[in-house]
Amino acid sequence: MSAATTGTSRAVVLDGRAAAAAVKADLKERVSALRERGVVPGLGTVLVGDDPGSASYVGGKHRDCAEVGIASIRVELPATATQAEILAEIERLNADDACTGFIVQLPLPAGVDTNAVLEAIDPAKDADGLHPTNLGRLVLRVKEPITSPLPCTPRGVIDLLLRHDVPLDGADVVVVGRGVTVGRPIGLLMTRRFPNATVTLCHTGTRDLAAHLRRADVIVAAAGVPGIVRAEDVKPGAAVLDVGVSRVEDPETGKARLTGDVALDVADVAGFMAPNPGGVGPMTRALLLTNVVESAERAVGIG
Ligand SMILES: Nc1nc2c(c(=O)[nH]1)N[C@@H](CN(C=O)c1ccc(C(=O)N[C@@H](CCC(=O)O)C(=O)O)cc1)CN2
């Protein structure tokens, strides 16, 4: 969804750019404190192939690192890289003391076993929180404070809801999309932070998506299908967070542009809206940095 609406919007905007700026300001101070103790957090990224979207996300991650004082390590491999070559780079980053956390940018080229790649990352350096050990800890350590990295986009969604006091106690939450970075982990994190929320995961096999959406107090749209969440299917006052990303051709300019999953006029019905761009995306980036800083703090016994 773009920030523009049909003009009657009364939804409170869940402003991810402002929230991310606040998160980064806090991280900058924490990174300075770590540096004073001789600890320099370093984020590594592994980018395979030449997808312009992925390259742009990785570039943004390194700009964020520079902003808060985190060191950057960039690994780039051609789209033809073999599974063994990718795993070798992961082993190198696992062993590199300058790299305190790293990610492998997704999606990987067709033919690469993404699960095997994610499982090869040292769980202590897993800045995305997508290693099975960390996903398992997320399920098991429900009552503990955060002791392991958490998936960034789901964490961003929850942070935005908390910052704006969106009511979650007893809420019906509907997540659309079952991808590995958002749809699958978000229910785990949501019911850890809001144990009385009821989370339903909808996907391409869901028989009646509209029926699920209509009773939802909170909708997290992460399907990558433009306009899949329509105003007529949103309960007045609901919180709607648009996390979908699709590349479409702009009919006016003929140029490719990014669009979300939520129709523009949903903002006229919703009580809270996380737009796309400007909602959850900037928080995904800020919480990646948070995972890196928290890991570095844990390593020296802070937090
Ligand atoms: N290893 C990972 N791969 C991917 C992840 C992830 O969390 N880990 N998520 C997405 C891509 N992504 C980060 O990698 C990401 C997507 C979008 C944004 C963002 O800030 N979007 C902006 C709009 C950007 C634009 O206009 O170009 C916004 O929403 O305002 C940040 C990060 C898939 N891969």
Residue located via tokens 């991650």: 61
pLDDT at 28 over 70: yes
CA of 29 to the centre of ligand 1 (A): 24
Q: 291 in ligand 1 pocket by Cβ < 6 Å?
A: no
Q: What mean pLDDT do residues 49-73 have?
A: 97
> Quick one: which of 13, 14, 39 has its CA closest to 297?
39
From 106, 180, 242, 290, give the residue whose CB has the most ligand 1 atoms within 8 Å, as the site to mutate.
Answer: 106
Run of H or E residues at 74: strand 71-77
> Quick one: which of 190, 196, 195, 163 has its CA closest to 175?
190
CA distance 194 to 170: 8
| Percent of the chain with pLDDT strictly greater than 70 | 97
- CB-based contacts of 208: which residues, under 8 Å, 6+ apart? none
Q: Which fold has domain 150-279?
A: Rossmann fold (3.40.50)
**ipTM confidence:** 0.97
CA distance 242 to 260: 6
- Do 99 and 122 meet the contact criterion of CB atoms below 8 Å apart? no
CA of 60 to the centre of ligand 1 (A): 9
Q: What is the DSSP letter of 242?
A: E
pLDDT at 6: 57
pLDDT at 143: 72
Q: 17 in ligand 1 pocket by Cβ < 6 Å?
A: no
- Do 45 and 61 meet the contact criterion of CB atoms below 8 Å apart? yes
Confidence of residue 1 (pLDDT cuts 50, 70, 90): very low
CA of 284 to the centre of ligand 1 (A): 7
Q: What mean pLDDT do residues 33-41 have?
A: 97
Q: What mean pLDDT do residues 228-241 have?
A: 98
Q: Helices then strands (H, E): number in the chain? A: 9, 11
pLDDT at 294 over 50: yes
From 57, 114, 182, 259, give the residue whose CB has the most ligand 1 atoms within 8 Å, as the site to mutate.
Answer: 57
| Percent of the chain with pLDDT strictly greater than 90 | 89
pLDDT at 3 over 70: no
pLDDT at 166: 98
The strand pair at 172-176 and 198-202 is best described as parallel
- Do 92 and 83 meet the contact criterion of CB atoms below 8 Å apart? no
CA-proximal residue: ligand 1, atom 19 (nearest): 281
Q: 295 in ligand 1 pocket by Cβ < 6 Å?
A: no
CA distance 32 to 3: 35
pLDDT at 12 over 80: yes
Q: Residue type at 165?
A: D
From 67, 134, 181, 291, give the residue whose CB has the most ligand 1 atoms within 8 Å, as the site to mutate.
Answer: 181
Task: Give the mean pLDDT of the chain.
Answer: 95
Q: 259 in ligand 1 pocket by Cβ < 6 Å?
A: no
- Do 12 and 164 meet the contact criterion of CB atoms below 8 Å apart? yes
Q: Of 2-16, 37-51, 170-184, which range is least confident?
A: 2-16
Q: Which residues pair with 200 in a beta bridge?
A: 174
Residue 245 known to bind ligand: yes
Taking CA atoms, 292 is separated from 27, 33, 164, 169, 229, in Å, by 10, 14, 25, 30, 33
Q: What is the DSSP letter of 106?
A: S
| Residues involved in catalysis | 61, 105, 128
Confidence of residue 7 (pLDDT cuts 50, 70, 90): low
Residue located via tokens 């398992």: 136
Q: 244 in ligand 1 pocket by Cβ < 6 Å?
A: no
pLDDT at 145 over 80: no
pLDDT at 142 over 90: no
Q: What mean pLDDT do residues 102-106 have?
A: 98
pLDDT at 90 over 50: yes
- Residue 281: how many CB atoms within 10 A of its CB? 24
CA of 9 to the centre of ligand 1 (A): 26
- CB-based contacts of 16: which residues, under 8 Å, 6+ apart? 156, 160, 274, 278, 279, 280, 281, 282, 283
Q: 227 in ligand 1 pocket by Cβ < 6 Å?
A: no
Give the start-to-end residue ranges of the domains of the chain.
38-146+283-299, 150-279
CATH of 38-146+283-299, picked from 3.40.50.300, 3.40.50.10860, 3.40.50.1100, 3.30.360.10, is 3.40.50.10860
Q: Of 70-79, 107-116, 187-196, which range is least confident?
A: 187-196
The tokens for 258 are: 């990014």
Predicted TM-score (pTM) above 0.90 = yes
Ligand 1, residue 56: give the atom nearest the CA. Answer: 27
Confidence of residue 227 (pLDDT cuts 50, 70, 90): very high
Run of H or E residues at 71: strand 71-77
CA distance 303 to 222: 32
CA of 66 to the centre of ligand 1 (A): 18
Q: What mean pLDDT do residues 151-168 have?
A: 97
Residue 136 known to bind ligand: no
The yes-or-no answer to whether 38-146+283-299 and 150-279 have a common fold is yes
Q: 271 in ligand 1 pocket by Cβ < 6 Å?
A: no
